[in-house]
Structure 1
């Protein structure tokens, strides 16, 4: 269940007469527990409670329905219950049907409320539904409640007005919903004179059978688009005259309203009766955008980006600097005035703005700083000099674009109330300004200068329709000539595999002519490139949220040289952190934040650990791998710069599968003629077989053995099948037609060999290589280090090497892809002494012996991060310690320190090699 569905179920439960016997089960059902789970609890089979009239669901919650006025005592009893501890309950809850109290066992956080207000606190219990939460959303039950009610209304209106769901009319329905939200907010915040004016008028003036509801609403909308002195001329009905003139284009144009059923009218009145003073525009906007999207409606309430995450972008981009200047100004009136003037000219531009949450958060925090300035200057009642038209956005879907404009309007009013008071806020709120500043369109197609023109451009205001998009936004005066521009946002990521044809065209439009390899780039790369090009026309800094992949592997040498050529450099970066939102399925998404500026004086790297504690480092450089190291791009290398053994792909059969044997075929041939043909059978491994322990074999026949091999009918037939396959296959297979008894290409030598899987999970801490005898045939689905001394296995199996791979390897979906030419050949190693190699050899042997001790456990079993055997873990820890001491005389503190050392060493080694080549040429 999504949060909106849970809130609706909890609201329904709280509105019904209290049923003491069934409350625990109805409560659990509201959070998505299946009927079979509930029945087992009711029967007592899974109820682990040791308290009378209580229900304990293991690993979840202990609930007691108690006697009147004993709620607090009952909660304490639940807390002290041995069963609560034994069953690892996350929550305890006690209620007498009048009052309710609950506690989060882990955090100690508590709630206490009237039972009837339970729905206001449903967010507290969302972990029971497997939904990770953030504090802001738990404290904003209203936004989820309003989203759910509006969603029901939206769906009901579509049922009765199917034509409004067509492409031609969907914008009209979305615009209608934006108008409703404005009316609901206005009637609860005194923008409209009279309490519940909008809802009450519809209730009183429309028929209960809903036959004329649309006509009443249409007349209200018409009134709000008509100036007071024109209303008699326009024949506005007397009962609609109480509504103010709104202007701003919100109610201009068509006042057509969809027809209402009785159910839709009921939903409308229910929504109107909510307390819209509680709306939080940065949260509500993110949630409501899913209402108009058929594909996303199932995840309703999940569309929420936490404020702390947004501030990871906005704070280092410009807010921290404003706060620092505020601190420096102290109470100096002149310096405070200069800062206020600076803030008034700042432009914030989000070219993937969605419902505007980045813009709203930026606006609210800038207003907070401005309010402190006014307070220190003794001008607390001063009107704001921060114009919402300085907060620009581009959004491809029209409904979020509508909501973004509306969210900023609401945020402006709420800030005016907070910092100037209700009376002054009302005096300046209506009529709305006529400018439109959010563009509905494709950000990778639109010229950003037409939305956010170059600093210093002075233009006239034109147009009178706030909600009718003028694609040339340069027509709107920013009132900030000479001001600063900051670009920010969270654009869509979309790796190359998942991009649509239209999205591929977008990237081609931006990168064609700049690089031949643009097809490998993530979609988000388009925003970075356009921001850098925009900055060549007008001074600006920018920062975007992105997945890690644009700063890893093959994308780095494709994208970042192009960006750096524009004059931009990375001035701050937030390394990988979990992107917290309301969705349990998104809880594990890792992202980065990358900030760009021209010739930044100060560079900062932010790092968040597993305890969610962020540390910041001032550094001299931030390269495209987000490390404190010089800007280098690690391309494929033909030979190892350090390793003293070469790496190749495995052998490729290109045989139609006829040289490969399953267990039955292997056993049959092994037993044939008393094992006469066993010499042709070898174990055959690729990445998957090695990691998962799946067994396969292959026929391995030397030229001198062909006659003996084909004397076996089955082997002879398999060789004929290979011949036929290769004759009819592609060019590469045809080159091996003359040797159908052999693999098409062979990379196999005598001696020990290291197998390195080419694709493996990024969850693994180590590379999970294998050290094998020459008997094994390694397929081209893996890499091989041939004739490999065992100390190389130790290096490859280290945390140090894995850190390198994670930084520079490409990805296949979410898995890491080990590329020999990049990961192995470029790995830098200090010169090793005989003792170093001896110590590492011992470490490698210890790892292999630890693995062997758990036979027949597979590599996948042994290297599961949560189940790794202790002796194997210790062997790896010892290996890491020995290797890292070779590099810096001690163990590294973390991956950042590892990588910075590796990049520094790589730079020195490659620079030395380049000089050596130059000298040879000169000679």
Structure 2
């Protein structure tokens, strides 16, 4: 369930008569717990509560319904109950049907409210549905409630008016919803005179069955597009009661004022939405959430589209807000310096070329208004109006409804800031009529000319966009004085890896990259925004910072994208390394992102941000940030067919290639051997990455061509060969599979060792302090989900197990989410190792042996067990630290201070080694060593 659904379920629960016995189960049901779970709790089978009236759901909550007036006593009993701790309950809750008290046990945070007010506290309990709570949602639940009510109205109206759901009418429907949102806000903030003027008018003038609601709304909307003094002559004639509504203008109520027909239920939904206190609406939250209402494909994710203010500020603060605050601090109470800062801010443009519902723009505007208000306070000029025009906050959005909401959100934000910093009277005096200028463009950002949307400087820009807020396609010029002003580009563009892009999106990228590079098709969609921002920066002084998937700063995408960006003169001036960009989706860990800021630099200092274990941001200053988001020289790590260092060759494990029947469990292997002992010679243990980490190999048939007839003579093996041949023949479009069906007994690759194999999983957790490399005997078969060094000298394991190597892999290889995705060509073959003496190799071999021996002392613990964060055995840790010390002394004669210093040295060494290789003669093909 999502946040909107949970709020609606709790609202329904709070409106029902309180049932002391049923409340705990109904409460859990509101958070999406299955009927089977609740049935078991009701029967008492899974309910271990020892509190009277208590229901305990393990790992979730301990609830008790109690007698009137005993809520506090019951909550203490829940807290003190040993079963609460034993069941690892996250929350305790007690209620008597009149009041509710609850506590989040991990942090001691509490809530206390009337029972009827429980829905307004739904955010407190969101972790019960696997949703990480966000403080803004907990503090101000109206945004979620408003989203849910408008969604019900939207769905009901489309059901009654199916023609409004067509592509031809969908814009009219979305425009109608934007008008409603404005009216709800206006009546609760005194923009409309009279209490609840809009909803009361709809209720009083409309029939209870909703049959004429559309006529009432059409009259209201028409009236707000006509000056009050001209309404008497308006045609068709306006009812007298519409004179209570002000003239709004701004294009919001111009053009087609047709309204979809209402049912009784739709009218009820509208009035319920209007009953909320829209004065409290938070435009950056509400806008992000409401955009899913108008999108059929996204409605299932209703309420999830919210980006927290702290995450947005990770972009905006280093982009320009930190600089403004620093100048404010430096100005102190100096009136001249304060005035200069205010003038500077009035010329700053913030441009989001993927603005969605405008949350980046809204947050930027609100933050700048806060700084401006402090300037005015220090200068004793609190009466002054804002000098920050909304037209300086520009955006491009592909879909028309979020574009409309973005402009509306900025209008609401402006009014709320005026009320906060100037007072209700002054805010109302200047709010209406709305400005007819349009600063949010509806269109494809990768196809539009950004200079036409946000020009370099001066006046006279024409915005070419779709119909928005009633404005024509070729909009009138926006006049503004911005000479010498700064431009900051920001946002969270769509990511979309190459496999998930539509043909139209691929053409978008092609239009940008075709003339620059041939292999652009592997780029993520977000790369288009960075390239267009870099091109934009060649025409005007601008700084851009976007949220992006971390994959654009890893692996194969780096040498495709970043050389083209840097060729424009742009460099990375700040970056935020990988972190989770969470939303309100249930059980969603969030996509892993980076933030990258680019500009044609004016100073030498770069800033590199990271999230510390405490959750706070830490920053490092550097002279250069390379495209791997590390302090160091700018390099492009490209796949190498052979190692650049003097190390063994690493190969993929053996691929079964549709030969699934050749692989089976250890248990099945025992059964086969029990029935046909002669089959044992053809069965080998099989290790992929996870099988190695968890010490849980599977089994496989391993048959050399010369022994195929012997194996086929064993009936149970022949059955598997037949199944393997059929599976390969079924891959009709794969000629290699068809050919391999002729030899159904073998894997596509048949590589083994003579003595031992070093194995490296292709994917492993980023939480481990070291990569999970290991040593297997020659009998083990390595599958393609792992990489192998066959009969490699053992000192190679010391390299692979070092902290230096983990840091290198984390920087240059791609990642699967945040997990390490190991690559032999990108990770191992590019790993820079100084020339090793024979003594170095002897020392490293000893280190490798010590690591393996330390592991053996903890048998049968698996590699996964031994390297679990915070649980590494002391002797194993000492072996790794000794290995790191020996390794690092080879590089710089001492231990590195931290991972940052490690990366800096590795990039420096890589640059030197590849430069030397480029001037050297091609090396002869390396031969595989057979000795340890």
After TM superposition, the score normalised by the length of structure 1 is 0.90
Q: What is the Cα deviation at residue 700 of structure 1?
A: 2.4
Q: Which shifted more, 145-154 or 731-740?
A: 731-740
Deviations 1:365-387 (A, max 9, x none): 01111111111111101111111
Q: 1:710-729: per-residue Cα shift (whole Å, max 9, x none)? A: 99999999999999999x99
Alignment CA distance shift 1:795-1:666 (3 Å)? same
Deviates more, 1:382-391 or 1:38-47: 38-47
What does residue 7 of structure 1 align with? Answer: 7
User: Equivalences for 1:448-459 in 2 at 5 Å?
Assistant: 448-459=450-461
- How far the C-alpha of 1:753 sits from its partner, in A, is 3.3
Residues 851-901 of structure 1: per-residue CA shift (max 9 Å, x gap) = 556777776677676987887667556544554455456665654443233
Alignment match of 1:408 (pick from 410, 414, 427): 410
Equivalents in 2 of 1:200, 1:183: separation in Å?
Answer: 12
Q: Distance in 2 between matches of 1:42 and 1:679?
A: 56
Cα distance in 2 for residues equivalent to 1:716 and 1:178:
68
Q: Secondary structure at the match of 1:439?
A: strand
Q: For residues 717 and 537 of structure 1, do their structure 2 counterparts lie closer, same or farther at Cα, with a shift above 3 Å needed?
A: same
Judging changes above 3 Å, is the alpha-carbon distance between structure 1 residues 211 and 516 closer, same or farther for their aligned structure 2 residues? same
Written as runs of structure 1 = structure 2, the 5 A alignment for 1:562-577 is 562-577=564-579
Change (3 A) 1:861 1:497: farther
Distance 1:172 1:669, change over 3 A: closer
> In the TM superposition, what is the alpha-carbon distance from 1:501 to its structure 2 partner?
1.3
Distance in 2 between residues matched to 1:83 and 1:679, nearest whole Å: 54
Equivalent residue for 2:926? Answer: none
Pair 197,895 (structure 1): closer, same or farther in 2 beyond 3 Å: same
Answering whether residue 108 of structure 2 is matched by residue 105 of structure 1, we say no
Q: Report 1:627-646 matches (<5 A).
A: 627-646=630-649
C-alpha separation between the residues in 1 aligned to 2:787 and 2:443? 46
Query: Aligned to 1:592, which of 594, 597, 602?
Result: 594
Match of 2:627 among 614, 624, 628: 624
* Secondary structure of the structure 1 residue equivalent to 2:411: helix
> 1:622 & 1:486 partners in 2: Cα distance?
20
Q: Paired residue for 2:846, among 842, 848, 855?
A: 842
Partner Cα distance (1:449, 1:902) in 2 = 40
C-alpha displacement of 1:58:
3.1
Please tell me whether residue 175 in structure 1 is matched to residue 175 in structure 2: yes
Does the residue aligned with 1:590 lie in a helix, a strand or coil? strand
1:52 paired to 2:68: no
Aligned-pair distance for 1:498? 1.3
Are residues 1:802 and 2:806 paired?
yes
SS at match of 1:112: strand
Residue correspondence of structure 1 range 364-513 to structure 2 within 5 A: 364-459=366-461, 467-468=469-470, 475-513=477-515
What is the CA–CA distance in structure 2 between the aligned matches of 1:857 and 1:192, rounded to whole Å? Answer: 71
1:768 is aligned, of 769, 772, 797, to: 772
Query: Which sections of structure 2, spanning at least 5 residues, go unmatched?
Result: 923-932
The residue that corresponds to 1:263 in the other structure is 265
Q: Distance in 2 between matches of 1:571 and 1:272?
A: 47
Distance 1:721 1:331, change over 3 A: closer
Q: Does 1:793 align with 2:793?
A: no
> What's the offset of the Cα at 1:29?
2.3
Cα pair 1:66 1:74 within 8 Å, conserved:
yes
SS in 1 for 2:167: coil
- Residues 1:405 and 1:833: Cα distance change in structure 2 (over 3 Å): same
Distance 1:898 1:906 in 2: 12
Q: Tell me, in whole angstroms, the C-alpha distance in 1 between the residues paired with 2:103 and 2:526.
A: 42
- Structure 1: distance between partners of 2:297 and 2:309: 25
C-alpha distance in 1 between matches for 2:808 and 2:103: 44
Cα separation, 2, equivalents of 1:286 and 1:101: 31
Q: Secondary structure at the match of 2:101?
A: strand
CA distance in 2, matches of 1:102, 1:739: 66
Query: How far apart, CA to CA, are the structure 1 residues paired with 2:467 and 2:383?
Result: 30
State the partner residue of 1:901. 905
| Greater CA drift, 742-751 or 816-825 | 742-751
Q: Distance in 1 between matches of 2:680 and 2:122?
A: 68
Q: Give the CA deviation at 1:77.
A: 4.2
Once the 2 structures are TM-superposed, how far is the Cα of residue 138 of structure 1 from its aligned partner?
1.0
1:639 deviation in Å?
Answer: 3.4
Give the structure 2 partner of residue 309 of structure 1. 311
Shift of residue 463, structure 1, vs aligned partner: 12
Shift of 1:473: 6.7
CA separation in 1, counterparts of 2:210 and 2:438?
34
* d(CA) in 2 for partners of 1:57, 1:723: 50
When structure 1 is superposed on structure 2, of 187-196 and 811-820 the one drifting more is 811-820
Q: Which residue of 2 aligns with 1:29?
A: 29
Going from structure 1 to structure 2, the CA distance change for 1:33 and 1:756 (only over 3 Å counts) comes to closer
Within the alignment, does 1:335 sit opposite 2:340 as a pair? Answer: no
Change (3 A) 1:833 1:266: same
Whole-Å separation in 2 of the counterparts to 1:747 and 1:424: 80
Q: Shift of the alpha carbon at 1:312?
A: 0.2
* 1:803-843 Cα deviation digits (max 9, x unpaired): 22222123568765433222112112244455543443334
Q: Following the alignment from structure 2 to structure 1, what is the Cα–Cα distance between the partners of residues 665 and 88?
A: 47
Q: Distance in 1 between matches of 2:328 and 2:84?
A: 50
Q: What CA deviation, in whole Å up to 9, does each residue of 1:80-132 have, x standing for no partner?
A: 44443333332233334333332222222222223222221111111112111
Are the aligned partners of 2:441 and 2:465 in contact in 1 as well (CA < 8 Å)? Answer: no
Consecutive unaligned residues of structure 1, counting only runs of 5 or more, are 919-923
- Shift of the 707–251 alpha-carbon distance from structure 1 to 2, 3 Å rule, reads closer
Distance 1:607 1:462 in 2: 39
More moved, 468-477 vs 289-298: 468-477
Matching residue of 2:697: 693
The one-character-per-residue Cα deviations of 1:154-192 (angstroms, maximum 9, x if unpaired) are 111111111111111111111111000000000010000
**For 1:128 and 1:661, how far apart are their aligned partners in 2?**
39
Distance 2:692 2:704 in 1: 19
**d(CA) in 1 for partners of 2:666, 2:464:** 78
Secondary structure in 1 matching 2:402: helix
| Structure 1 residue 55, shift from structure 2 partner | 3.4
Q: Which residue of 1 aligns with 2:914?
A: 910
After the TM superposition, which of the residue ranges 10-19 and 440-449 deviates more from structure 2?
10-19
> 1:453: how far off?
1.6
Deviation at 1:618, TM superposition (A): 1.3
Secondary structure class of the residue paired with 2:232: coil
Could you say what secondary structure the match of 2:618 adopts?
strand
Tell me how far 1:845 sits from its aligned partner.
Answer: 2.8
Match of residue 285 from structure 1 = 287
Q: In 1, Cα distance between the equivalents of 2:561 and 2:630?
A: 17
1:718, 1:465 → 2: CA distance? 64
Q: Determine whether 1:356 maps to 2:358.
A: yes
Mean Cα displacement is larger for which, 189-198 or 288-297? 288-297
Higher deviation after alignment, 228-237 or 893-902? 893-902
Aligned partners of 2:286 and 2:708: how far apart in 1?
74
SS of residue matched to 1:586: coil
Q: Deviations over 1:412-446 (max 9, x none)?
A: 00001001100000010000011111111111111
1:204 aligns with 2:243: no
Work out the CA distance in 1 between the residues paired with 2:136 and 2:479: 35
Are the structure 2 counterparts of residues 690 and 74 from structure 1 closer, same or farther at C-alpha, using a change threshold of 3 Å?
Answer: closer
- Residue 660 of structure 1 contacts residue 699 of structure 1 at CA under 8 Å; is this kept in 2? no
Within 5 Å, which residues of 2 pair with 1:822-833? 822-833=826-837
Q: Does 1:216 align with 2:219?
A: no
Distance 1:658 1:430, change over 3 A: closer
| Cα distance in 1 between the residues matched to 2:403 and 2:592 | 27
8 Å Cα contact 1:248-1:466 kept in structure 2: no
Greater shift in the superposed pair: 785-794 or 742-751 = 742-751
Which of 606, 611, 622 is 1:608 aligned to? 611
Q: Cα deviation per residue 1:260-305 (whole Å; 9 max; x = unaligned)? A: 1001111111111111111000000011111111222122111110
User: What is the RMSD computed on CA atoms of the aligned residues?
Assistant: 3.8
- 1:136 offset after TM fit, Å? 1.1
